Structure 1
Amino acid sequence: HVISRGNARQDVVEDDEDRRRLMGDLERASSRSGWEVLAFVLMTNHLHLMVRTPRPDLAAGMQGFLSSYASYYGRRRRRPGHLFQGRYRAEMIEDDSYYWAVSRYIHLNPVRAGMVERPEAWPWSSYPGYAEPSRRLPWVDYDRVLEARRGEFGGDDPAMSYRRFVEAGLADPPPSPFRDAFDGWALGSRRFVERLKSLVGPQTSDPPRPEAGRLSGLDLDRVLAAVVEFYGLEPGSLGRRGDGHVARAVAAWLARRHTEATLRELAPRLGLSRADSVPNLTRKLEARLRDAPALADDLRRISQILEAEAHPGELDDDRRGRARNIRGEA
């Protein structure tokens, strides 16, 4: 569970355009980092997230997410300086037995603040998708939360059960689930807390990943073409449905990390019928990276090709030569 507040509790959004941008930056950050977003709410001067992080990269992901939005906000409002407090607050959650309580706490924020009477009326949250399947966002993992307590609160329909659970909190507002957190940062058993403490220390490095900053804002067509050229595929092959070549997942990962393309724009280009299939594809790729160094090397090498094209005058001779060798041009 993550909370980030405005510096000195100042507002971080002023209108719906700001909220759309903040939500879009969250989507892009979750895709780049491989996060599984379970719940979120955007308030006026702070935000709440509940995310699963397959890799230990919450800090890097949050820095990219908040920095991207703060840069946009500063440009639009012509207000330099810090927008968010220097450090977000993060609380670890032991397992899915806490998912309903924590997500309800998140979703009821707009009601507690008097902004709406019912949580589904606040569009800047994941709850509308829990209340109505037609309003689901493709990058939020609703099913992981719903299945956590299937059959409770009446019936076998987990979505209906969850809605009843949330609505029970309207009639009888529950206390924050984090009142029982150990030392204010871990929600779970003492054994869980002790295990977390034992894990604190040097971490193994993440799989090699290209830097997003130097390659942000690339043209989608060029990224897809670079993947096709690298793997020696036919033009247009990435869009053929049923083709299980790893190039599709690589293209999805690079496009989500380095272009502004939306999920709906990417899906048909990759032969996918649903927008929410794109983050599923990238998550599967992320899961393979740690045990597949050759695949991680493919990502690095394609990124070097793209970097050589995007910044031809900035690369040193050694890096430029490596990029040419990768393409077989040397």
Structure 2
Amino acid sequence: MPRHGRLHIPGGCYHVMGRGLERRRIFYADADKQDFLDRLGETLARNGSQCVAWSVMTNHYHLLIRVGDQPLAKLMAPLLGGYAGHYNRRHHRSGYVFQNRYKSILCDADAYLLELVRYIHLNPLRAAMVKNLTDLDRYPWTGHSALMGHRKQDWQSVSEVLGLFARGLGTARRRYREFVVQGLEERDSDELLGGGLVRSYGGWEGLKRLRKEHVYCIGDERILGDSDFVERALAQDTLKVEQATQRIQAGWDLDRLIRRVSQYCGIKEEQLTQKARGNDLSLAKALICLWGSQELKLSLREIAHRLSISQPAASQWVNRGRKFCRELGIEFEVIDS
């Protein structure tokens, strides 16, 4: 099957994974890991991309990359090619180092960024490469130690992640670590490793049809997000035109969204800053966070500020909104009239 070009969404967030050939080691010594990280920092700077989270294991790596105008391949090709060549010379070997192409999953950052940061940074602990979270706090081969302030990586987007928890550095680190602790009590989600689309199998609808026929496909490019996010990503990649733009042109903004959702749920707008103890208020908050981020492409930061909640809380409301919509069978069109 011929290879298809990877989706390129400027500003998109990609979970990137790669393994050694036949699952062999690709990092034998600390020098190998440091060489990989040095090259990563250099290529990030050249391509105008950002690294939000990372973890270097023994036979594989995880990166969470937010690309700029340049596609992901412009970053990964020199990184992996340069590392493989130097690795072979350093270890007096020849041949392939990495197994097939790296996997890249375009992620709905508003809904999954924090979960992915936690998942990636917990890899060494879950693989028993460190004994406990205290050791992970200072472990040099994952981005967690930089977020905890014990190591510095100039190319890691530390402030972006910590800023999602609090403005003050100390409070942000404490809340981030509490968030990581919560992850230890939860099972890994397979959802974070796979997603909504394998484009080479006919897109979202094609993949759903194959799954109904019990044909399960494995591809090297996926999307982590619901069908709406998948469709938006495809539209942006191929047509560069999104429905959100049309809605904004039609006068949709956060004020209008809040007004319409409040009317639909039968609550007063001023109630939205209160704790959601009732079903109507919970539904309203969930729909505002879900439809604001997905249908209008508003940032969760803006929505969270308006509702007087944290961005992680807004992300949780997005997930609740998806559940409400599934259970109640409602779509954005109920307020778009």
Per the TM superposition, whether the score is higher than 0.5 is yes
Identity %, equivalent residues: 32
Q: Which residue of 2 aligns with 1:146?
A: 162
Give 1:123's match in structure 2, choosing from 128, 131, 140. Answer: 140
1:173–1:149 Cα change, 3 Å: same
Q: Which residue of 2 aligns with 1:191?
A: 228
Give the match's secondary structure for 2:62. strand
Give 2:58's match in structure 1, choosing from 38, 44, 47. Answer: 44
Give the match's secondary structure for 1:148. coil
Contact 1:181–1:188 (CA under 8 A) maintained in structure 2: yes
Q: Does residue 90 of structure 1 match 2:127?
A: no
TM-score (norm 2): 0.55
Q: Which residue of 2 aligns with 1:31?
A: 45
Q: Which residue of 1 aligns with 2:120?
A: 106
Deviations 1:181-205 (A, max 9, x none): 21362122322100112234499xx
1:41–1:179 Cα change, 3 Å: closer
Amino acid in the other structure paired with 2:18: S
1:107–1:196 Cα change, 3 Å: same
Q: Which residue of 1 aligns with 2:26?
A: 12
In structure 1, what is the Cα distance between the partners aligned to 2:238 and 2:113?
A: 27
Contact 2:108–2:229 (CA under 8 A) maintained in structure 1: yes
Q: CA deviation at 1:146?
A: 2.0
Give 1:136's match in structure 2, choosing from 152, 177, 195. Answer: 152
TM-score (norm 1): 0.56
Q: CA deviation at 1:161?
A: 0.8
Aligned length: 199
Measured on the aligned residues, the alpha-carbon RMSD in Å equals 2.3
In structure 2, what is the Cα distance between the partners aligned to 1:162 and 1:68?
A: 34
Unmatched runs of 5 consecutive residues or more in structure 2: 1-14, 199-221, 241-337
In structure 2, what is the Cα distance between the partners aligned to 1:121 and 1:156?
A: 17
Q: CA deviation at 1:27?
A: 0.9
In structure 2, what is the Cα distance between the partners aligned to 1:35 and 1:67?
A: 18
In structure 1, what is the Cα distance between the partners aligned to 2:72 and 2:51?
A: 12
Q: Which residue of 1 aligns with 2:171?
A: 157
Unmatched runs of 5 consecutive residues or more in structure 1: 204-330
Q: Which residue of 2 aligns with 1:57?
A: 71
Contact 2:18–2:102 (CA under 8 A) maintained in structure 1: yes
Give the match's secondary structure for 1:157. helix
Give the match's secondary structure for 1:91. strand
In structure 1, what is the Cα distance between the partners aligned to 2:192 and 2:233?
A: 17
Q: CA deviation at 1:112?
A: 1.3
Q: Which residue of 2 aligns with 1:2?
A: 16
In structure 1, what is the Cα distance between the partners aligned to 2:111 and 2:171?
A: 17
Q: Which residue of 1 aligns with 2:196?
A: 182
Q: CA deviation at 1:122?
A: 2.5
